[in-house]
Amino acid sequence: MKKIAERIKVVKVDEISKEFGKAIEIGDVKIALFRLKSGNFHAIENRCPHKGGVLVEGLVSGEHVFCPMHDWKIDITSGKVEEPDHGCVKTFEIEVEGDDVYIVLS
């Protein structure tokens, strides 16, 4: 059986400054929504795979966020942790329509 995607409006484009993030909760799903310097939005699970640090509180640099607990470097676009550390976080599809930003859950 095919899962149906759910598209949820979460913010207006101008609610998040470039190189910052915003914590989003949809039910029991905790998401870190980031706006990169390019203006593009990306969303990842808001929990570092190492010790559970809250990623939206981390420093954003380029396409990466640094976990505020132990400085693990995580690629915001893919969810992959940079070596020598290892692991990944779930990523979420983003859609921008006009001034509205949506997260797509499947």
Beta carbons of 47 and 81 less than 8 angstroms apart? no
Beta bridge partners of 91: 44
CA distance 101 to 57: 20
Beta carbons of 34 and 43 less than 8 angstroms apart? yes
pLDDT at 27 over 80: yes
Beta carbons of 25 and 56 less than 8 angstroms apart? no
pLDDT at 62 over 80: yes
Q: Who wins on pLDDT, 51 or 41? A: 41
When pLDDT is averaged across residues 7-13 and rounded to a whole number, the result is 95
pLDDT at 1 over 80: no
Give residue for tokens 């550390």: 85
Sheet order of strands, 73-75 included: 59-61, 64-66, 73-75
Residue 103 CA to its chain's centroid (Å): 10
This prediction has a pTM of: 0.91
Q: Who wins on pLDDT, 2 or 19? A: 19
What residues does each domain of the chain span? Answer: 6-105
pLDDT at 4 over 80: no
Any idea which fold 6-105 has?
Rieske Iron-sulfur Protein (2.102.10)
